[in-house]
């Protein structure tokens, strides 16, 4: 009986303490809860670009349109500053992983009917932003995006994951080996499928296989100097993608003999 009385007293005391929280703290907790609920209701963030997508999709296809698709590294990139006068569309969302990107690919890329899509993704997968995952699962998501693009005759520039020695928000994760392995797979996959492989990594890797000094403030996100390097490489890759033809893919499961493999990809460094 004594234990029950003690537990009840502790519970009542906790409720009283919560009731004594200042209004500002209660409001902050409420806002945090609402934000979490909103993220759960729209996990891939399909609502983020829905209205602007509708405006773009309503017009005729712009044969010079390019969609930059990815996470915060893409979202924070001021494309108008680095590519003035170009019909380049930014569809990056901070923190996203490849399963989230795949879910919004049709809406945020396909519906816009670009000539080229530049896919830069997977660093957040390696950081386990949406939970532990495998390289095979990341590869599957990237392949699915490339297949969706090919079905709509959108040329693909597949960009390597940028160097990162550590993630400030996940210091316990050691990303170097996974980044190297995934980038090696990307290069091979681009060769196999005739995609343009954009090798940011080779141009931006420094000591301990992190970003070169001067290209970032936090070791993950490029600064102005980092984006300048990326802009030059992306511009060259897009120019080459614009000149490539898109061949129809075999249906999945087709076991008929294949023609000779596609030409080697253009690797931009």
Does residue 265 belong to any structural domain of this protein?
Answer: no
Domains contained in the chain, number: 1
CA–CA distance, 154 with 110 (Å, rounded to integer):
8
**CB atoms inside a 10 Å sphere around CB 90:** 17
pLDDT in tens, 227-236: 999 999 999 9
Give residue-wise pLDDT tens across range 212-232.
Answer: 999 999 999 999 999 999 999
Kindly report the number of other CB atoms within 10 A of residue 199's CB atom.
19
For 107, phi and psi rounded to 5 degrees?
A: -75, -45
Q: Is there a domain that residue 91 lies in?
A: yes
Residue 255 located in a structural domain: no
pLDDT at 60: 85
Q: Which domain holds residue 132?
A: 50-246
Neighbours of 108 (CB within 10 A): 25
Whether the CB-CB separation of 182 and 135 falls below 8 Å is answered with yes
On whether residue 154 sits in a domain, the answer given is yes
CATH number of the domain at 220, please: 3.40.50.1110
Q: Does pTM top 0.85 for this prediction?
A: no
What would the pLDDT profile of 3-61 be if each residue is shown by its tens digit?
444 444 444 454 444 455 577 767 766 666 665 666 667 799 999 999 999 999 888 88
Residue 36 domain flag: no
Quote the CA–CA distance of 123 and 183 in Å, as a whole number.
Answer: 11
More confident residue, 102 or 254: 102
Among residues 231, 237, 66, the alpha carbon closest in space to that of 154 is found at 66
Q: Label residues 213-241 b or e (16+ Cβ within 10 Å = b).
A: eebbeebbbbeeebbeebbebbbebbebb
How many CA atoms lie less than 13 Å away from 84 in the CB half-sphere?
Answer: 1
On whether residue 256 sits in a domain, the answer given is no
Which residues, in sequence order, are CB contacts of 122 under 8 Å at separation 6+? Answer: 97, 98, 138, 142, 161, 182
Say how far apart CA 131 and CA 123 lie, in whole Å.
13
Give the residue carrying structure tokens 């090798």.
Answer: 199
- CB 45: neighbour CB atoms within 10 A? 19
> 19 lies in a domain?
no
| SS3 assignment, position 159 | strand
Nearest to 264, CA basis, from 184, 156, 157, 192: 192
Please check whether residue 212 is in contact with residue 172, taking contact to mean a CB–CB distance below 8 angstroms: no
Q: Could you tell me if residue 41 is inside a domain?
A: no
């Amino acid at each position: 009986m004594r234990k029950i009385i003690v537990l009840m007293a502790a519970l009542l005391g906790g409720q009283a303490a919560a009731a004594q929280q200042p209004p500002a703290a209660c409001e902050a907790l409420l806002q945090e809860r609402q934000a979490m609920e909103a993220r759960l209701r729209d996990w891939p963030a399909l609502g983020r670009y829905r209205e602007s997508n509708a405006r773009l999709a309503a017009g005729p296809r712009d044969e010079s349109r390019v969609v930059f698709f990815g996470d915060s590294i893409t979202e924070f990139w001021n494309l108008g500053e680095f590519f003035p006068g170009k019909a380049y569309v930014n569809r990056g969302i901070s923190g996203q992983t490849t399963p989230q990107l795949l879910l919004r690919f049709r809406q945020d890329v396909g519906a816009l009917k670009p000539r080229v899509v530049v896919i830069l993704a997977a660093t957040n997968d390696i950081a386990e932003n949406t939970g532990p995952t495998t390289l095979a699962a990341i590869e599957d998501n990237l392949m699915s995006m490339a297949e969706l693009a090919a079905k709509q005759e959108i040329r693909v520039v597949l960009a390597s994951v940028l160097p990162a020695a550590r993630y400030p928000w996940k210091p316990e994760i050691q990303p170097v080996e996974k980044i190297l392995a995934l980038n090696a797979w990307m290069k091979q996959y681009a060769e196999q499928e005739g995609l343009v492989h954009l090798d940011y990594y080779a141009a931006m890797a420094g000591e301990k296989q992190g970003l070169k000094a001067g290209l970032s403030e936090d070791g993950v996100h490029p600064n102005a100097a980092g984006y300048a390097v990326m802009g030059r490489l992306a511009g060259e890759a897009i120019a080459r993608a614009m000149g490539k033809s898109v061949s129809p893919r075999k249906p999945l499961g087709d076991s008929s003999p294949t023609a000779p493999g596609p030409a080697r990809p253009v690797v931009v460094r």
